[in-house]
């Protein structure tokens, strides 16, 4: 049981072409290519988006917390 030879891959390719036909394979390849292109475009847009400011994040309901005085603001004993 070794790896497949070139002839095995050619037989598989011929069977796939007979089952699906060239028209379906071509349209499937175009759909896959456009999906990859849209994915890359979305990844680039995410990289270009400016990071959210800390002030904006602190205003959300989930991240609210009571402000506690720091060590320097507390009276010394």
User: pLDDT tier at 54 (50, 70, 90 boundaries)?
Assistant: low
pLDDT, one tens digit per residue, over 14-29 is 999 999 898 888 899 9
Q: In this structure, are residues 17 and 23 in contact, taking their beta carbons and an 8 Å threshold?
A: no
Q: Which helix (H) or strand (E) holds 54?
A: helix 54-58
The C-alpha angle with vertex 25 and arms to 24 and 30, in degrees rounded to 5, equals 100
pTM of full prediction above 0.75: no
Q: Where are the domains of the chain?
A: 23-49
User: pLDDT tier at 46 (50, 70, 90 boundaries)?
Assistant: confident
Cα distance between residue 41 and residue 17, in whole Å: 31
């Amino acid at each position: 049981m070794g790896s497949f030879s070139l002839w095995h891959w050619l037989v598989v390719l011929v069977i796939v072409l007979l089952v699906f036909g060239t028209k379906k394979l071509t349209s499937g390849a175009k759909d896959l290519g456009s999906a990859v292109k849209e994915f890359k475009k979305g990844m680039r847009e995410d990289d270009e988006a400016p990071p959210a400011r800390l002030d904006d994040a602190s205003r959300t309901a989930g991240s609210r917390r009571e402000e506690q005085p720091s060590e320097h603001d507390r009276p010394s004993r």
